[in-house]
Amino acid sequence: MKYLALAIGLGISAAAVLIVPGSGATASTEATTAVDRPHPVAGKYLKQRPAWKQCGEPSLRTYCAKITAPRDWANQYSGTDIQLAVSKVAPAKGKPSRVVFGNPGGPGGAGLGMAPYLADQAPLQEDFLAVGFDPRGTGDSTNVTCEGAPGYTMDARDRDPSNLALVASASQLSQPYCDRQSRGLLPYVNTAQTVQDLDLIRQLLGFDKIDFVGYSGGTWMGAYYQTYFPEHVGRFVLDSNTDFTRPWLDTFAAQPQAFERRFREDFATWAAKYDSKLHLGTSAGAVLRTYEHLRRDLKKQPAVEEFLDGSVKISYDQNTLDQIVSGDMYTKIDFYSLAIDLAFLRDLSVAQSKGGPRAAQNQVDALSLTRQHELVRRAARGGVGLPPMGRVVGEDDAEDATFTAVTCNDTAWPQGREYGDQLAARLGPHYPLVGWTMNQNPCFFWNRPNLTMPQPTGKGLPTTLMVQSIHDPATSYELAVSAHQRYAGSRLVTVTHEGDHGVYGGVNACADKIVNTFLTTGKAPAKDVTCAGHGIPAPSMPTPGDETATGAGQPEYGDNAPLRRIAGFTKAVSGYLH
């Protein structure tokens, strides 16, 4: 689940913020048809035979194919179709008795890597066909794009009327760019259409029921699949949960408080504990002041530096800093790198203020090539550099564009700038890391398709297993609890002393055991369960730039953070179907 500039915030009280006043434009960008129920599949789609081909290294045992689906499930004979990229990994021996689908969230995250990732979980290797797919709009499936749309380059904390007007203009211009360049697909990139794509894949694979592991925005997808196709629901695991029982606004409206908690209580406290090594401050408050002082200095005088013999240029300003910090809240694995980067940026800013741009560039030139590569890699991951950054524009933009389309199309948002401006002004002083960005949101100006989806309730479904870390920054624990209380038959696994976003698959052994037991046997806990987290490890990793650092012990396709590892698998198996 992203935070980006797409809505964030929880006010002083949930009730004060989460009420959505009469909102919502529901006018269509074109004459789309409401998809509030599943539609029978036309025979031409069921008769297709996917052409599976190996994708990625042979050791991954992954096969990919493209299948054809209608652009609009309510108008299957319109003649306009799209392509969906699907991946699968079968057991090494024997025929699978069950199928498990996965989605990494976003919404809009490419998901081909879910198949090899799930197949890499030892308990799933014998009986499961593991399946991933790139949802419509993103990855190797038919894409949408918002390329060229104005971004939010202004300082979110600047409340001058002229700056607020610029924010509103950027938001308002987003949909015209997205719509014009997406060849008519944009209104149909929503969860109602996507879950019917998912069920088409199920039918083509020949299974009556599916199991499912969804992370973050994938919990939203999973809950809606259950709602649309309850008769085909097997064992569903929803990890790092959105509040899929309410509109998208409620999930994003919880993010400022959750990000701030993660930053203050987890990162700042940890950094202060190890100040003798990290040098950011001897108390959590001092660490936060280091960030605020650095933000002020970078706003006053941004640092634009060349890396790798001038081949890459990175601009560090207050927005860059905010993106780096918030991006590193998702997993504790990034805490040490963040601490080192904050110290580097502080020194860079000091050098620039005292000696000018040349002195700052000398700071960069003195770094080893390994350290420069690391800084470039991290900047590229956050999209904070100036081109060239090694970023595949179309691919990454497709994920961002799909994220915007799904969250803006699915459920109604208050329309116009007033609500967002007031909410940002209310949340920003309390949760400054991302709270001020609440108004940086195209959804406040989005002309939605004619779409009303049934509200997920969980009624009549088998047990749904929900997993949640207590300090998750992107999907708030409080909203997961709230969704759990409204979702009939669900069980909640709470991981204490943990804040990673994405738990199943290596973050917590207790949670992994519960999930694997559920997936392999169908046995869920009789009641909610709490697992003790392992806390944040001491900063014992090699210092970035150390030429002896080899990354030994890290998985081949990413680090031990599940969502990062899934992204590594996705990169490894994508691009074979063009």
With a CB cutoff of 8 Å and minimum separation 6, the contacts of 192 are 35, 36, 73, 224, 228, 410, 451, 453
Does pLDDT of 4 surpass 50? no
242 and 310 co-located in one domain = no
Do residues 43 and 70 touch, judged by C-beta distance below 8 A?
A: no
DSSP class of 15? H
Both 393 and 460 in one domain: the answer is no
C-beta separation of 475 from 241 below 8 A:
yes
408: in domain = no
Domain that holds residue 381: 153-165+252-397+413-447
* Rounded Cα distance, 463 and 461, in Å: 6
Reply yes or no: is the peptide bond before residue 104 cis, omega within 30 of 0.
Answer: no
| Whole-number pLDDT of residue 7 | 35
Q: Decide: helix, strand or coil at residue 531.
A: strand
pLDDT digits (tens, 9 = 90+) for 299-329: 999 999 999 988 999 999 999 999 999 999 9
The pLDDT score that the predictor gives to residue 545 is 44
CA angle (224, 71, 217) in 5-degree steps: 30
16 contact partners, CB below 8 Å, separation of at least 6: none
CB-CB contact of 214 with 222 (8 Å) = yes
% of the chain exceeding 70 in pLDDT: 88
Q: Would you tell me how many other CB atoms lie within 10 Å of the CB of residue 558?
A: 20
Same domain, 433 and 475: no
- Asked if residue 77 and residue 95 are part of one domain, the reply reads yes
Q: CA of 489: how far to CAs of 221, 240, 467, 510, in Å?
A: 18, 18, 14, 21
One domain, residues 439 and 481: no
Residue 22 inside a domain? The answer is no
Total residues belonging to the chain = 578
Give tens-digit pLDDT for 92-146: 999 999 999 999 999 999 999 999 999 999 999 999 999 999 999 999 999 999 9
Alpha carbon of residue 103 to chain centroid: 11
Residue 6 in tokens: 């797409």
Is 328 domain-assigned?
A: yes
Tokens encoding 282: 């001897």
* Domain co-membership, 375 together with 505: no
Q: Is the pLDDT of residue 558 over 50?
A: yes
Residue 15 has a pLDDT of 27
**Same-domain check for residues 161 and 222:** no
> Looking at the DSSP assignment, which residues form a beta bridge with residue 236?
212, 464
> Is 318 inside a domain boundary?
yes
Examine the domain organization and report whether 273 and 240 are in the same domain.
Answer: no
**Cα–Cα separations (whole angstroms), residue 205 to 73, 99, 130:** 19, 9, 11
pLDDT at 555: 55
- Is 113 in the same domain as 133? yes
- pLDDT of amino acid 386: 40
Read off the amino acid at residue 146.
C
CA distance 486 to 458: 8
Question: Is residue 510 pLDDT above 50, yes or no?
Answer: yes
pLDDT of residue 26: 35
Helix (H, G, I), strand (E, B) or coil at 410: helix
**Cα(296)–Cα(279) distance, integer angstroms:** 19
Q: Kindly report the pTM of this predicted structure.
A: 0.91
Q: Where are the alpha helices (DSSP H) in 212-283?
A: 217-228, 248-252, 255-261, 269-273, 275-278
Which residue, 483, 477, 449, 465, is CA-closest to 524?
465
User: Which residue type is seen at 527?
Assistant: K
Find out whether 32 and 451 touch, Cβ atoms under 8 Å: yes
More confident residue, 549 or 381: 381
C-alpha–C-alpha distance, residues 339 and 203, integer Å: 49
544/571: higher pLDDT? 571
Q: What value does the mean pLDDT of the chain take?
A: 89
Report the SS3 class of residue 408. Answer: helix
DSSP string, 87-129: EEE--SSS--SEEEEEE--TTT---TTHHHHHHTSGGGTTTEE
Residue 492 lies inside a defined structural domain of this protein: yes
**Residue 12 belongs to a domain:** no
**Number of C-beta neighbours around residue 265 at 10 A:** 13
Sign of torsion over alpha carbons 355, 358, 360, 362: negative
- Interval 177-197: pLDDT, tens: 999 999 999 999 999 999 999
pLDDT digit string, tens, across residues 42-74: 999 999 999 999 999 999 999 999 999 999 999
Q: Which residues have C-beta within 8 Å of that of residue 238, sequence separation ≥ 6? A: 214, 218, 219, 222, 223, 244, 464, 465, 466, 467
Q: What is the mean pLDDT of residues 355-378?
A: 92
From the list 174, 315, 337, 329, the residue with the least C-alpha distance to 267 is: 329
- pLDDT-based confidence at residue 33 (cuts at 50, 70, 90): low
437 and 493 in one domain?
Answer: no
Give a three-class secondary structure readout of 297-339: HHHHCCEEEEECCCCEEEEECHHHHHHHHHHCCCCHHHHHHHH
- 466 and 443 in a common domain: no
Residues 131 and 161 in one domain: no
* Domain membership flag for residue 548: no
Report the distance separating Cα 90 and Cα 95, nearest Å: 8
CATH number at residue 110: 3.40.50.1820
Least confident of 296-310, 385-399, 442-456: 385-399
Tokens (6 digits) for 225:
């699949």
| Domain presence at residue 23 | no
Q: Are 305 and 314 in contact (CB under 8 A)?
A: yes
For 80, 85, 109, 143, 202, the CA distances from 397, given in Å and listed in that order, are 23, 17, 11, 9, 28
Residue type at position 46:
L
**Into how many domains does the chain fold?**
2
